Amino acid sequence: MRALLDFLAKYYHWLVFILLEVVSFVLLFQFNHYQNSVWLTTANTVVGHVDAWERSVLHYLYLGRTNEQLTRRNIILEQNIEELTRRIERLTHDSTRTELLQTERLTGIKLIPAKVVNNSVMKKDNLMTISAGSADGVETEMGVVCGTGIVGIVFQTSPHFSIVMPLLNHHSQISCRLRGTLYAGTLRWEGDSPLHAVLDDIPRHAQFRIGDVVETSGYSAIFPPGLFVGRVKNIYNSNDGLSYKLQIQLGIDFSCLQDVSVVAQEFRPEISELEEKADSIKNKAR
């Protein structure tokens, strides 16, 4: 104890200096928007590079199992595509029409591939880092998807990495609908399970059942309509009793997500600009 007190007495001015430096940096970055933005961008870039190296090592170790899963999934998808093509040809009697329908669905949509280099699923406000940034064409407010559903929305970008706000974040709100109907609601996460979300504001006169598919509604410039989200697992009344609240079994297991794609729609900037003008008019009217 005596030695510790002698050490503190001898070097107390250095300890006070370090403490004041730490406090000053905290105040600088916390209460100044520009410095905070620079710090977040630099920190995300450094963390992104470290996480990318770690993920690349882990990804290499699991390549065998990943290839096996991809092969199995490709076989299933090829069988499904072949069966759907046969059914459409049987209904339309025109194979050219089938090709046109598939082409029209992809018009104006560009997919930017990326790897998940950092991810969390157990926090209230989970975030995800992916290995694609502004240099690859990624912008904020772009949607992120994978082969089994929608992942989230790009929140922040650097030249080579991006931060994504996934569905597993209580700030996330995405317009979704019941497939085959026009009944749409807001998909959000209540923080209970990384496998489930809830779909609010479904009207009580809507006809649906457990197991029905939930998909994106297309009511925004972020996601095109018809992308798979999950299936209805349970049905509850809303707190006010005026609508239904549906528990959705998500199509993605976020805990083992590795490969994603960023959705770059052709007319997204134009739609976003119009929506911003509309919002500014509403604010002025208030």
Q: Is residue 95 part of a domain?
A: no
pLDDT tens digits along 231-248:
999 999 988 888 899 999
Tens of pLDDT, residue by residue over 100-125, are 544 454 456 788 889 999 999 988 88
Nearest CA-CA partner of 206 in 184, 183, 185? 183
> pLDDT tens across 187-220, in order?
999 988 899 999 998 998 888 999 999 998 888 7
172 within domain boundaries? yes
Whether residue 91 lies inside any domain: the answer is no
| 49 located within any domain | no
| pTM of structure | 0.62
In a domain, residue 215? The reply is: yes
Q: Indicate which CATH number applies to the domain containing 133.
A: 2.40.10.350
How far is it between the farthest Cα atoms of the chain?
94
- Supply the mean pLDDT for the chain: 79
In a domain, 13, yes or no: no
Domain limits for position 169: 108-266
Is 261 strand, coil or helix?
strand
Q: Is residue 56 part of a domain?
A: no
pLDDT of residue 101: 45
Domain count, the chain: 1
Confidence of residue 28 (pLDDT cuts 50, 70, 90): low
- Angstrom CA distances, 174 to 64, 191, 209, 214, 272, stand at 35, 16, 21, 12, 15
Residue 59 lies in a domain: no
| Helix axis angle, 63-92 to 95-106, nearest 10° | 130
